[in-house]
C-alpha cells in the first residue's frame, strides 16, 4: 500500500513507513521544543516597584514634645516629674494664667513625646497620623487630649502641628487588692492628628536622571533589572552602577517626563537573586536558611549527655545495749550515660530540603542545630554565610 500526496497539479508517491517516520519526528521535535523552554520560578520573580526605592521618594521623621490633658487621675505626679510641672506652668502663662510660685496639684496632665512620618510629596494642609508615648510616670493616657504640639524635622524646622484625642490599645483597671493591665496604656495614636505646615520641596518631574536603590543589594539582580528596563524601552536608559544602585536616565525622544518613565517600568518583572545565607537568632533559637545554601559531604555526630541522680536514704539502727541513736544515712545513686549518640551523613551538593532532613535526622533542637551549623562552617563544608542576630 502506498499513500499519494497531491499538491496542485503535481503528485508523487511517498512510502507509508516514511510518512509515519516523518510524523514521529515532528512529534519528537515538538516535545523537545517544549522541554527546553526555560521556566522562571514564580517565587524568584518580583515587580521592580517591590524591590527598589526611588531616589528622592522618601519619608521624613518628625518629633515633638507636648502635653496630654483630661486624664482621669492617671497623669504624671508633678512632684516626680518636674518637666511636666514646668511645661504646665509655661503653657498656662502663655494663655494668661500666672502660676509662678504657686503649688500646682493635678494628676490629669501627662508629658508625652509625639512622633510622626512625613510622607514624600505631602502637600501643605494635608493630614498625617501621629504616635504618642508617655514621658513621665503616667499610668494611662486613656481619655486624654493632646494639646497643640509642633513637630520638628532633623533640621529643626516645624513641618507639622499635632493635636487631638488620643486612642490607646491597652487599658488599666485596679481595685483595692488587684490590678489588671492589658497592652500598653501609656502609648497611643491619633489618626490624621497632625496638619502639614511645611512641604519638603523636591521636583521629581524635572529630573533628567535618578537612581534606583535595591532593597536587597545584589550584583545579579542589579544587572537583570537594567536589562529588563532596556529591553522594554528599547534604549540603554538603565545602567547598573553597583550591587545596590541602577542609574535611570530619561531618553531624548521619550514621550513624557521621568515620572512617566517610572510608571512604565515599575510593573516589569525581574528575577531576583540572593546570596547563600543562614540567619541565626540565638536568643529565640530561630534559624532561617536561604534557598541557595549548599553543604559538602560531611559526617555529623551529636552526643547526648544524660545524668541521673536518685536519692534513697537508709535508716541506721544502733546495736542493742548501746547508747547510739537511730539516724538516716544519705545514699545517692549517680549515673552518667554518654552512649546515646547519633551519627548522620550529609551528602555533598544537597538541596536545602535535603539538608534540613539530614539535620533533623539527628533528632536535635534548634539550639543544638545552631552549634552544628557553626561547626560545619568552621570546617569549610558549608557554602553559605552565617549571620548571627
Last residue of a domain, one of 196, 225, 240: 196
Same domain, 239 and 344: no
Task: Report yes or no on 49 lying in a domain.
Answer: no
Does the residue 7 lie in any domain? no
| Exposed / middle / buried, residue 193 (Cβ in 10 Å: 0-12, 13-18, 19+) | buried
* 172 neighbors 140 (Cβ within 8 angstroms): yes
Supply 247's cell numbers: 542609574
Both 285 and 260 in one domain: the answer is no
257 belongs to a structural domain? yes
Q: Quick one: pLDDT at residue 24?
A: 38
Alpha-carbon gap, residue 300 to 340, rounded angstroms: 14
Is residue 321 domain-resident? no
| Residue 355 within a domain | yes
217 and 265 co-located in one domain: yes
In-domain check, residue 340: yes
Domain boundary among 196, 221, 256: 196
Q: Are residues 181 and 81 in the same domain?
A: yes
Three-class secondary structure of residue 378 per DSSP: helix
Is there a single domain that holds both residue 349 and residue 244?
no
Residue 371 pLDDT: 80
The pLDDT averaged over each successive group of 10 residues in the chain (389 residues) is 38 42 37 34 75 92 96 88 88 85 83 96 95 92 94 95 91 68 86 94 91 93 95 93 94 89 93 86 80 76 57 70 69 58 58 66 72 81 82
Q: What is the pLDDT of residue 171?
A: 66
Evaluate if pTM is beyond 0.85.
no
The structural domain count of the chain equals 3
CB 131 within 8 A of CB 107: no
The answer to whether residue 12 is domain-embedded is no
**Same structural domain, 167 and 251:** no
Q: Do 65 and 192 belong to one domain? A: yes
Same domain, 188 and 236: no
Same domain, 166 and 101: yes
Q: Name residues whose C-beta falls within 8 Å of residue 292's C-beta, 6 or more positions apart in sequence.
A: 274, 275, 276, 352, 384
Per-residue pLDDT, 18:
38
Among 24, 137, 134, 156, residue whose Cα is nearest residue 79: 137
Same domain, 122 and 182: yes
How much of the chain is in helix, strand and coil states, percent to nearest 5?
A: 25, 35, 40
Q: Is 33 within a domain? A: no
The domain containing residue 302 runs over which residues? 277-309+331-388
Neighbouring residues of 191: CB distance < 8 A, sequence distance ≥ 6:
129, 167
Pair 303, 372: CB distance under 8 Å: no
Size of the chain in residues = 389
Name residues whose C-beta falls within 8 Å of residue 219's C-beta, 6 or more positions apart in sequence.
240, 242, 243
Please give the pLDDT value at position 183: 76
Residues 288 and 343 in one domain: yes
145, 171, 196 - which closes a domain: 196
Residues 242 and 137 occupy one common structural domain: no
Burial class (CB in 10 A: 0-12, 13-18, 19+), 165: middle
Cross-strand bridge partners of residue 288: 279
**DSSP secondary structure letter of residue 355:** H
Amino acid at each position: 500500500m502506498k499513500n499519494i500526496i497531491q499538491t496542485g497539479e503535481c503528485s508523487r508517491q511517498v512510502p507509508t513507513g516514511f510518512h509515519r517516520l516523518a510524523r514521529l519526528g515532528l512529534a519528537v521535535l515538538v516535545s523537545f521544543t517544549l522541554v527546553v523552554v526555560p521556566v522562571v520560578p514564580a517565587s524568584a520573580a518580583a515587580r521592580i516597584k517591590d524591590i527598589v526605592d526611588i531616589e528622592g521618594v522618601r519619608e521624613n521623621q518628625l518629633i515633638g514634645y507636648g502635653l496630654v490633658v483630661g486624664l482621669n487621675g492617671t497623669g504624671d505626679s508633678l512632684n516626680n516629674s518636674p518637666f511636666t510641672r514646668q511645661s504646665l506652668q509655661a503653657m498656662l502663662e502663655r494663655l494668661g494664667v500666672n502660676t509662678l510660685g504657686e503649688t500646682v496639684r493635678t494628676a490629669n496632665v501627662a508629658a508625652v513625646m509625639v512622633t510622626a512620618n512625613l510622607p514624600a510629596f505631602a502637600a501643605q494642609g494635608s493630614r498625617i497620623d501621629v504616635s504618642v508615648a508617655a514621658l513621665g510616670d503616667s499610668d494611662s493616657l486613656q481619655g486624654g487630649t493632646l494639646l497643640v504640639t509642633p513637630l520638628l524635622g532633623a533640621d529643626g524646622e516645624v513641618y507639622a502641628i499635632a493635636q487631638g484625642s488620643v486612642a490607646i490599645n491597652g487599658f488599666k483597671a485596679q481595685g483595692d487588692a488587684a490590678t489588671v493591665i492589658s497592652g500598653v496604656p501609656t502609648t497611643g495614636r491619633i489618626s490624621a492628628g497632625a496638619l502639614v505646615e511645611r512641604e519638603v520641596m523636591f521636583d521629581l518631574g524635572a529630573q533628567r536622571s535618578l537612581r534606583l536603590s535595591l532593597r536587597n543589594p545584589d550584583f545579579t539582580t542589579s544587572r537583570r533589572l537594567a536589562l529588563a528596563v532596556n529591553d522594554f524601552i528599547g534604549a540603554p536608559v538603565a545602567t547598573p552602577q553597583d550591587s545596590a544602585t541602577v542609574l535611570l536616565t530619561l531618553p531624548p525622544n521619550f514621550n513624557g517626563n521621568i515620572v512617566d518613565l517610572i510608571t512604565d517600568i515599575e510593573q516589569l518583572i525581574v528575577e531576583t537573586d540572593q546570596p547563600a545565607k543562614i540567619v541565626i537568632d540565638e536568643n529565640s533559637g530561630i534559624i532561617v536558611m536561604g534557598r541557595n545554601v549548599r553543604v559538602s559531604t560531611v559526617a555529623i555526630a551529636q552526643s547526648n549527655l544524660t545524668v541521673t541522680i536518685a536519692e534513697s536514704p537508709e535508716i541506721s539502727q544502733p546495736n542493742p545495749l548501746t547508747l547510739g541513736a537511730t539516724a538516716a544515712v544519705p545514699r545517692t545513686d549517680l549515673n552518667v550515660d554518654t552512649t546515646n549518640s547519633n551519627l548522620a551523613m550529609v551528602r555533598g551538593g544537597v538541596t536545602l530540603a535535603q539538608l534540613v532532613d539530614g539535620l533533623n535526622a539527628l533528632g536535635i533542637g534548634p539550639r543544638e542545630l545552631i552549634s552544628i551549623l557553626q561547626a560545619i562552617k568552621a570546617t569549610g563544608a558549608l557554602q553559605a554565610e552565617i549571620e548571627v542576630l
